[in-house]
Structures are given as C-alpha cells and as structure tokens.
Chains A and B, each alone.
Chain A
Amino acid sequence: MRPLRLEKKETSVLVGIMILVIIIMVLANPGTFLTYTNMKGMAYQLPELGILTLAMMVVMISGGINLSIIATANMAGIVAAIILKSQPGSPSVAFLLALGACLGVSSAIGLLNGVLVAFVEMPPILATLGTMTLFNGISIVITKGYVISGFSPAVLYIGNGMLLGIPFPLLIFLLAAIVMSIFLRKTRTGFSLFMIGSNAMATKFSGINNMAVLIRTYLVSGIYSGIAALVMISRFNSAKSGYGDSYLLITILAAVLGGVKSEGGFGNVSGVVIALITLQVLSSGFNLLRVSSFLTTAIWGFIMIAVMVTNFLIENRKTRGAT
C-alpha cells in the first residue's frame, strides 16, 4: 500500500512542478509563449527525446539501464538511409524496405542486449556500454563519418508532417506512450518486469522465466530506439553516427524525474510524459528568452537534484511519522 501512495505523492509533486514551470514561462514570455508557433515547435521537438526516454524507461524498471539506445537509433537510421538512397526509382518500395530494415536492425540490437544481460548475465550498464561502443563504431565504419542526407517526401512526413492539425511525430509519440503503458500495465511480461525490478530472486522462485522477460524488455527498448530513429532521420533529413549523443544521459534524467526508480521496480508512463513536458517547456521557454541552451541543461541538472532531495525529505517525514 505504502509504495503505491508514495508514487502518487511523487506524481503530484511532479504535476506541481510542471504547472509552476508553465506559469513562470508564460509570465516570462508574455505574448510569445502561448502562441501557435511556439506550441507547434514544442510538439515537434518533444517526440525525439520522448520516444528515446520510453526506450530507456522500460529497462530501468527492470533494474537495468540501456546506454545503447542512441547508438541503436543511429545504426538503424543509417541502414534505413542507405536503403532509401539506394533505390531512388521506387520511393514507396524503398520506404517500406527502409521501415522494415530500421525496425529489424533495432530489434536485433535489442535482442543482443537482452541475451547479453539475461543469458550471459553481464551487468546491464557494461553490456550496453559495449554494444553502444560497438554499434557506434560500425556506424562510423559504414558511413566513414559522413552524413547521408536527402530523403523522399514520404520519409520527411514522419518527422515534419501534420495529421488533422496535430504534428505527426507527436502522434507517433502518443501512440508509443499508450502502447508502452498497456505493455507495462496489462501484459504478463510487463507485470513481471516490475517484479524483477523489485526482487529478481523472488520473481524467479515464483515461477517466472526471468530470462525471457528480460530479453523481451531489451527487445522492446531496441524497437523503441528504432521508432525514434525514424523520427530522427526524418526531422534531420539525414542520418549520421553521433546524432543525438547528448540525449543519452538526458533520457535517464527525464525517466528519473518522471518517477522511474533507477534501482528498478517503479515507474509509470504518465509520470515520464509529465517530466518530458516539463523539460520541453523549460527548454522552449528559455529559448524564447534567448538563454543559452547550456544554461537550460544546467537548470535541468539543478531541478533533478531539487526533485530528488524533495522526494527524500517527503519520504523521510512520512517514515518518521509512521514510527
């Protein structure tokens, strides 16, 4: 009962922070923040980091970490880009092939991570550090460090299009978030995942195949990286190794800010979405104020510490009250 209530408390702290940040930014940017242009800009920027954060979140719930999400996304994006460029004659065939290859590559890398963590029993941080370095390397070898750019309109639509007045990448993100939420709450694997994150030994002895659950978890993480890859290559209209490298640690911050415990066992999609909106509002708001993006990063770091300290103090007061 207690951990459940604690989670709710954390979510309300989070919602409070989000509202506070929105109010501050609206007041600081009168007439520019609450505009259609700004809203649209935010809606196009959020999905990239958002989908990657979901990819990070799912493994963090299992008590692991996936450092290879960006490397996976770049690798999948590069393979897709090569296919798109190799068949200029038939855009629709190329598009479907690239889509399949992108998700295929990312699933394969996810599966490899899962096998390394669950079967070989490597610590997740090292297994994924290894695959991150390896696939970054392979990406560099394939592209020789150059950019592959210039795609067909169908590809550009994924990251820049609009459907029924809603930016298409935002729709992809919302769909990805809903699917992730269903996966975590309604499926057997999702449920087992939380249990493994809390106590892997107990889960094993209660008759759950930990290995299968963990492999599926890393597979899901890989697939989500592949979806992020589609949005990324479309938005940049290019693919290259090293794109979005700075997102890696930010996804961990966003997930933890959203209530995912880095030790595993806790976390929900709504918390992560609220955290992502908060970060995006901060970054867009500061951008309107012409504040350096690095100061925004510094403030993200500061807010992170502030939230963790607040949560600690709330938890501490509660336990003291109970005894």
Chain B
Amino acid sequence: MKRLLARHETYIFGIIVVFSIIITAINPNFLTLENAFDILKSNAFTGIMAIGVLFVLISGGIDISFAATATIAEYLTVLICLRVGGSMLFAFFSALVIGIILGAVNGYLIDRFAVPPIITTIATMNLYYGLLIVFSKGRWIYALPQYFRTFADIRVITLYTAEGLPYGLSIVTALWFVLMVLSAGLLFYTRLGRSIYAVGGDAISAKRVGVSVKMVRIFVYAFMGAMASVAGIVQALLVQAVAPNSIVGKELNVIAAVVLGGASLAGGVGTVSGMFLGVMLLAIVQNGMTLMRVPAVWYDVFVGLVILFSVGSSSWKVKKEKVGTFIDIEPLSPPMVQEGGR
C-alpha cells in the first residue's frame, strides 16, 4: 500500500478520478462506455506517438521532430498507396520504413556528433517539414484508398445503444493497446529495454558495464520514428484525409502528456502505464470540457494549469525531500535545524 502511494501513477490516477467525478456530476454522459470508447479512439493517435516519446525520454533524450516524421510517413505512404496500390498491411509497412529511416538519422546525428538532442531534432524538424511542404505544395489528399475507410470502421468489440446504433472498441484503439503492451514488455523484460533505462540514468556507467550506448540511442530515435509513422497512418484513418500541416505544432503537447505521466526529462525514469494515464488526463480534460459545455477557448488555460500544478507539485516534493536528507546527514541542535531547513 505504501509503495503504491509513493508511485507517481497513483497520483495521476487520483487526479483523473477527481476530474471524472466532477465531470460526471455535471454531465452523466461522461461515464458511459460509449464516451470511453470515443476518447480511446480519438486519442490513439496521440497515445501511439507518446509511446515513442516515452522511450526517447527514458534514454535521456528528447525529440521535437516526430510530428514532422509522422506527417511525412503519412503523406508519402498515402501517395504510394494511391499510385501503385496496396493494402493496409503494405501501408503500415511502408510508413514504418520511412519513419525508422528518419528517426535513425536523428539518432545517428545525436550519437556520432554529440549534438544535443533538442537542437538536432529542431533542426531535422525544420528540414523534414520544410521539404515536405515544398514537395507536397501543401496540398491536402482527400481521396484515400477504399481500404483505409473499411479498416477504420472495424470494431473489435461491438455493442448497441438503446436506440440500436452500433458502437464499440475501434481497431485503432486495439492497435494502440497492443503497441503499449509490447512496449512495456520490451522495456521491462528485455536486455535492450533495461539498457535504455541504464543509458538514461547514467550513460557513462552504462557504457562501462558493456551497454552499447550508440545502439541504444539509434534504437530509441528509430523506435520514435516507427511509432510516429504508425501514428501518422492512424491519423489518416481517423480523419480520412491527409493534411501536411495538421500534426506539426502538436509535438510539445505530446511531450507534456508523457511528462505528466511521470517520465523525467533527465532520463532513466518512466513507465508505459504512467504515460497512458498522462495521455488520458489531457484527453479527459478536453472531453470533459466539451461535455460540461465549457467554451473550447478555455482548453489551453486548463491544460496549462494542469501542467503547472502537476509538474510543479512533484518538483516541489523533490525539493523538500532534498532538504530533508540534508538535515539527516548533519544532526544539529533544534534551533539550528530550522536554519539548515531553509
């Protein structure tokens, strides 16, 4: 119980429960399976990118370019599918190849030339996105292949409303969940996964115990690219159109969601379950505001406050704990303890 309370996930879960109670009290439609499935479907896109971001953050890096990668993978794949035909499986495969290549370029630059990840990925973001807009001329694609439509309508679980309308768990949500389970397994039960934590915790120590820091770095950015490309296809499935400018600009929101879930920007810390809760927290704030009829203009205000209070309180806790250990090490007489306590 004590260990459960000490976990970051418990706090985030608590906040989600409080929000859910408030929203449900105002609009009971919130706590229905239909709404839950809806949230899970519309946030699968953010959620899948968040998996990649989680890996990068655990390794001690950061990626700003993934939204550009997602868009390029989405755009090129749909173009290829329209020109030469294909299937859904081919679409995912083609997107993955593009995503992995673009991601690996980041990893290589960061590792080989010791360029700080934030700088590298801002630079590649501008490079990738600029080239995409130049070559696509900013044109939208509306006519997606037929299998994009049929695939998006697949439901893993189908239920019916009182009026007899079908609803259920979308294939897109199922895909997100499968990817989360696989990633959690990879992080916890494989050598590679543990190496990612090791590199994020202390790259030099990791190197000394025989971890190939280079391989880990290239892997996490390539993995980020892979997740971004899958998210790109999911976006195309959800929206049934491809816009070259619809994803770029959302990268900081995704990073915020992952950090809300307890991942540290300093590296070495983070879990898939925390990441899921972080994504859900922001999703529920947005969905709840719609259900409570709060004008959409307030959304950013709430998200900003959630970030500041959530991250602020955990930073404050860490600061207080640091002061605590300081007093423990140096036992002082009571009046001086107060001085030391500052």
Is there an interface contact between A135 and B297, defined as CB atoms closer than 8 Å? Answer: no
Return the CB mask of B102-135 against A: 1 if under 8 Å, else 0. Answer: 0000000100011110111011111111110110
Within the complex, the shortest CB–CB distance from B310 to chain A, in Å, comes to 9
Residue in B122, B303, B312 whose CB lies within 8 Å of A253: B122
- The reply on B3 being an interface residue by CB < 8 A is no
**With a CB–CB cut-off of 8 A, which chain A residues contact B252?**
67, 129, 132
Interface size of B as a range: 35 or more
**With a CB–CB cut-off of 8 A, which chain A residues contact B301?**
134, 137-138, 141
Is there an interface contact between A120 and B297, defined as CB atoms closer than 8 Å? Answer: no
Is there an interface contact between B311 and A263, defined as CB atoms closer than 8 Å? Answer: no
Is there an interface contact between A127 and B311, defined as CB atoms closer than 8 Å? Answer: yes
| Chain A, range 297-313, C-beta contacts under 8 Å to B | 297-302, 304-305, 308-309, 312-313
How would you classify the secondary structure of chain A's contact residues: helix, strand, loop or mixed? helix
Most B CB atoms within 10 A — which of A116, A138, A294, A309? Answer: A294
Is there an interface contact between A126 and B259, defined as CB atoms closer than 8 Å? Answer: yes
- The reply on B160 being an interface residue by CB < 8 A is no
Is there an interface contact between B300 and A134, defined as CB atoms closer than 8 Å? Answer: yes
Contact A301 B133, CB 8 Å, known A126-B311, A130-B308, A134-B308:
no
Residue in A138, A245, A263 whose CB lies within 8 Å of B249: A245
**With a CB–CB cut-off of 8 A, which chain B residues contact A292?**
133-134
Q: How many residues of A contact B (CB 8 A)?
A: 48
Whole-angstrom distance between the alpha carbons of A99 and B201 in the complex? 47
Residue in A133, A134, A137, A302 whose CB lies within 8 Å of B127: A302
Whole-angstrom distance between the alpha carbons of A261 and B316 in the complex? 27
Return the CB mask of B132-176 against A: 1 if under 8 Å, else 0. Answer: 011000000000000000000000000000000000000000000
- The reply on A140 being an interface residue by CB < 8 A is yes
Is there an interface contact between A121 and B318, defined as CB atoms closer than 8 Å? Answer: yes
Is there an interface contact between A294 and B130, defined as CB atoms closer than 8 Å? Answer: yes
Residue in B127, B129, B305 whose CB lies within 8 Å of A305: B127
Most B CB atoms within 10 A — which of A127, A129, A245, A301? Answer: A301
Is there an interface contact between B307 and A301, defined as CB atoms closer than 8 Å? Answer: no
Residue in B109, B128, B300 whose CB lies within 8 Å of A133: B300
Whole-angstrom distance between the alpha carbons of A294 and B125 in the complex? 12
Is there an interface contact between B134 and A137, defined as CB atoms closer than 8 Å? Answer: no
Is there an interface contact between A140 and B300, defined as CB atoms closer than 8 Å? Answer: yes
**With a CB–CB cut-off of 8 A, which chain A residues contact B326?**
none
- The reply on A122 being an interface residue by CB < 8 A is yes
Residue in A245, A298, A308 whose CB lies within 8 Å of B131: A298
- The reply on B64 being an interface residue by CB < 8 A is yes
Whole-angstrom distance between the alpha carbons of A202 and B215 in the complex? 34
Within the complex, the shortest CB–CB distance from A215 to chain B, in Å, comes to 15
Is there an interface contact between B303 and A137, defined as CB atoms closer than 8 Å? Answer: yes
B319 to A, closest residue via Cβ: A121
- The reply on B273 being an interface residue by CB < 8 A is no
Residue in B64, B122, B134, B316 whose CB lies within 8 Å of A121: B316
Residue in B118, B131, B316 whose CB lies within 8 Å of A252: B118
Return the CB mask of A9-36 against B: 1 if under 8 Å, else 0. Answer: 0000000000000000000000000000
Is there an interface contact between A133 and B304, defined as CB atoms closer than 8 Å? Answer: yes
- The reply on A100 being an interface residue by CB < 8 A is no
Within the complex, the shortest CB–CB distance from B139 to chain A, in Å, comes to 13
Within the complex, the shortest CB–CB distance from B52 to chain A, in Å, comes to 18
- The reply on A295 being an interface residue by CB < 8 A is yes
**With a CB–CB cut-off of 8 A, which chain A residues contact B255?**
129
- The reply on A40 being an interface residue by CB < 8 A is no
Within the complex, the shortest CB–CB distance from A178 to chain B, in Å, comes to 27
Whole-angstrom distance between the alpha carbons of A131 and B308 in the complex? 7
Is there an interface contact between A120 and B319, defined as CB atoms closer than 8 Å? Answer: yes
Is there an interface contact between A308 and B319, defined as CB atoms closer than 8 Å? Answer: no
Is there an interface contact between B126 and A249, defined as CB atoms closer than 8 Å? Answer: yes
Is there an interface contact between A253 and B299, defined as CB atoms closer than 8 Å? Answer: no
- The reply on B90 being an interface residue by CB < 8 A is no
Contact A294 B134, CB 8 Å, known A126-B311, A134-B308:
yes
Is there an interface contact between A145 and B308, defined as CB atoms closer than 8 Å? Answer: no
Is there an interface contact between B300 and A120, defined as CB atoms closer than 8 Å? Answer: no
- The reply on A123 being an interface residue by CB < 8 A is yes
| Chain A, range 80-123, C-beta contacts under 8 Å to B | 116, 120-123
Whole-angstrom distance between the alpha carbons of A125 and B258 in the complex? 13
Whole-angstrom distance between the alpha carbons of A127 and B256 in the complex? 11
3 cross-chain pairs, A with B, having the tightest CB-CB distances, nearest first: A134-B304, A298-B130, A137-B300
14 contacts between A and B (CB under 8 A): A67-B252, A116-B308, A120-B319, A130-B305, A141-B297, A144-B297, A145-B297, A252-B119, A262-B119, A298-B126, A298-B130, A301-B123, A301-B127, A305-B120
List B residues at the A interface (Cβ < 8 Å): 64, 109, 113-116, 118-120, 122-131, 133-134, 249, 252, 255-256, 259, 265-266, 297-305, 307-308, 311-312, 315-316, 318-319
List A residues at the B interface (Cβ < 8 Å): 65, 67, 116, 120-123, 125-127, 129-138, 140-141, 144-145, 245, 249-250, 252-253, 256, 262-263, 292, 294-302, 304-305, 308-309, 312-313
